[in-house]
């Protein structure tokens, strides 16, 4: 009981302190909290196994998607447009910063993936295929950003890298479609490999071959 009261008192104190801050002070506080949270996640990831890291990153990503979805549900049409424009600008700035921080080898790898994606777009005959290629390229880019870039990977290998991941997604989609005809797709049980993890594993195998 005493602990609950003490915790409630601390929360109330923090709330009053936050309300007394200026807008600029709040922004600084949010940035500091974000940096602290990032450092905490990094320390936590370093103590995990590879399977635990994948599950943890998946949970974080799902939480972030849910928060964005809830925020967007309460927005007006004008707010949605402004939010999307701001998000697009932030993404452009982020990509620009990432390119500036890349080594020459990483930059060459990045350009090769973009070229492979453009070729896939030209070959895509339907919107569904185009969306699949986009998702494949996005996953490939994320994996390359998270892992050390290996030397000696040429354009042909990168294109195969993207195509292989695309094929897995198509197979998974077909499997889900066929399974849904007979019964509802069961949830992934703890300890089993989810379709998303399977795709990541394939990507890693393609990179290390």
Q: How far is the C-alpha of 80 from the C-alpha of 74, rounded, in Å?
A: 9
Q: Produce one character per residue of 9-37: b if its CB has 16 or more CB atoms within 10 Å, e if not.
A: eeeeeeeeeeeeeeeeeeeeeeeeeeeee
Q: How far is the C-alpha of 108 from the C-alpha of 155, rounded, in Å?
A: 9
205 with 168: CB under 8 angstroms?
Answer: no
Phi, psi of 47 (to 5 degrees): -90, 0
Look up the pTM and report it: 0.33
pLDDT for the residue 136: 62
109 with 155: CB under 8 angstroms?
Answer: no
DSSP state of 183: S
Closest CA to 14 of 24, 2, 3, 26: 26
Per-residue pLDDT tens digits of the chain, which is 209 residues long: 777 788 888 888 888 888 888 888 888 888 888 898 888 888 888 888 888 888 887 887 888 888 888 888 888 888 888 888 888 888 888 878 877 887 887 777 777 777 777 776 666 555 555 566 566 666 666 655 554 444 445 555 555 555 665 665 666 666 656 655 544 444 444 444 455 555 555 555 554 45
Closest CA to 141 of 120, 117, 172: 117
pLDDT for the residue 84: 84
DSSP 25-60: HHHHHHHHHHHHHHHHHHHHHHTS-HHHHHHHHHHH
């Amino acid at each position: 009981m005493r602990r609950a009261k003490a915790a409630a008192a601390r929360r109330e104190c923090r709330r009053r302190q936050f309300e007394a801050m200026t807008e600029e002070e709040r922004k600084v506080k949010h940035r500091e909290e974000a940096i602290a949270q990032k450092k905490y996640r990094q320390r936590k990831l370093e103590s995990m196994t590879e399977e635990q890291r994948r599950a943890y990153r998946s949970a974080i990503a799902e939480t972030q998607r849910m928060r964005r979805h809830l925020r967007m549900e309460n927005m007006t049409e004008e707010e949605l447009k402004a939010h999307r424009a701001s998000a697009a600008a932030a993404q452009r700035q982020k990509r620009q910063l990432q390119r500036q921080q890349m080594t020459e080898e990483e930059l060459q790898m990045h350009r090769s993936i973009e070229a492979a994606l453009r070729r896939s777009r030209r070959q895509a005959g339907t919107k569904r295929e185009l969306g699949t290629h986009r998702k494949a390229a996005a996953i490939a880019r994320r994996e390359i950003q998270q892992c050390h870039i290996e030397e000696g990977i040429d354009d042909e290998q990168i294109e195969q890298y993207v195509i292989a991941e695309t094929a897995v997604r198509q197979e998974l989609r077909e499997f889900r479609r066929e399974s849904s005809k007979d019964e509802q797709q069961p949830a992934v049980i703890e300890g089993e490999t989810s379709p998303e993890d399977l795709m990541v594993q394939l990507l890693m195998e393609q990179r290390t071959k």
